Chains A and B, each alone.
Chain A
């Protein structure tokens, strides 16, 4: 069994995603990286480590990710979050939860960012 190549098709989607992230974050020298839904197929237990990798890599490049994951939101800093929501007329609205006094009041009273996100309150 030694020296046998493992075909990519035998790897899980999560493993492939991790490999792709490592390459994008540490082996690409592009100054700006956009990653769509980076934690799809990744076990929640590993999401914190993935975010740590991104924070580390962001010291040398701009990284933007899109996500619906509460785990990503939980590990992100409130200042790093940009919320895109839909108004009553169906138009996209871009906002920064960190700028909202009500969001800060909730956070100060130990309501976590991820809980506010789940309850759809980050856009208040």
Chain B
């Protein structure tokens, strides 16, 4: 039987990010990597979907924004309440929202080229803050996001966002930063 990875994400901005940046990093480990947006699907169906994936002995990663919860643990508790078939080890909580991961990937060069503020840390960056940072020259938010993804820097993102670094380290998607600095 083929081994697949299902990455459950909230919406379109997440699909874009995980499709362009994350999926290529997993593709060599699985027969296929499927990105599934769950926000528009009823919770009972999402729960049944997780059950199906587990029955087929496939892997999944469930990605959720921390939103207004105070901690990752609190967010996980809410997910456990909504989805009885979810497993703690498969949950990744984005702090604060996926926009913070996008912006974290802007290296110094990209920040200068785009003419946007350089943020040393994006852990507190919300969707609203992100939208206020979009330069006027971009026709749309999506346009700006695509531009970020074109020049996305994994190293920069890991330095600037703790939840992204946790995700990358958890799934061994890149060499640990402390090892690199020693070479």
CB within 8 Å of B: which residues of A?
101-102, 105-106, 108-112, 115, 119-121, 124
| Nearest chain B residue, comparing its CB with the CB of A112 | B45
B69 contacts partner chain A, Cβ-Cβ < 8 Å: no
Instruction: Give the shortest distance, in Å, between B43 (CB) and chain A (any CB).
Output: 13
B78 contacts partner chain A, Cβ-Cβ < 8 Å: no
Q: Is the CB of A109 within 8 A of B1?
A: no
Interface residues of B in 142-173 (CB under 8 A from A): none
B41 contacts partner chain A, Cβ-Cβ < 8 Å: yes
On chain B, the residues within 8 Å of A101 by CB distance are 1, 56
Instruction: Give the shortest distance, in Å, between B54 (CB) and chain A (any CB).
Output: 10
Number of B residues, CB within 8 Å of A: 15
B36 contacts partner chain A, Cβ-Cβ < 8 Å: yes
CB within 8 Å of A: which residues of B?
1-2, 4, 32, 34, 36, 41, 44-45, 48-49, 51-52, 55-56
Q: A interface, by DSSP: helix, strand, loop or mixed?
A: loop
Q: Is the CB of B48 within 8 A of A105?
A: no
Q: Which of A109, A111, A112 has the most CB of B within 10 A?
A: A109
Which of B4, B41, B44, B55 is within 8 Å of A124, CB to CB?
B4
A121 to B145, CA, bound (A): 27
Q: Is the CB of B56 within 8 A of A111?
A: no
Q: Is the CB of B36 within 8 A of A119?
A: yes
Q: Is the CB of B48 within 8 A of A110?
A: yes
Which of A105, A111, A124 is within 8 Å of B32, CB to CB?
A124
Which of A106, A115, A121 is within 8 Å of B41, CB to CB?
A115
Q: Is the CB of B49 within 8 A of A111?
A: yes
Q: A101-B1, A124-B4 are in contact. Are A111 and B34 (CB under 8 A)?
A: no
| Nearest chain A residue, comparing its CB with the CB of B40 | A118
A100 to B34, CA, bound (A): 16
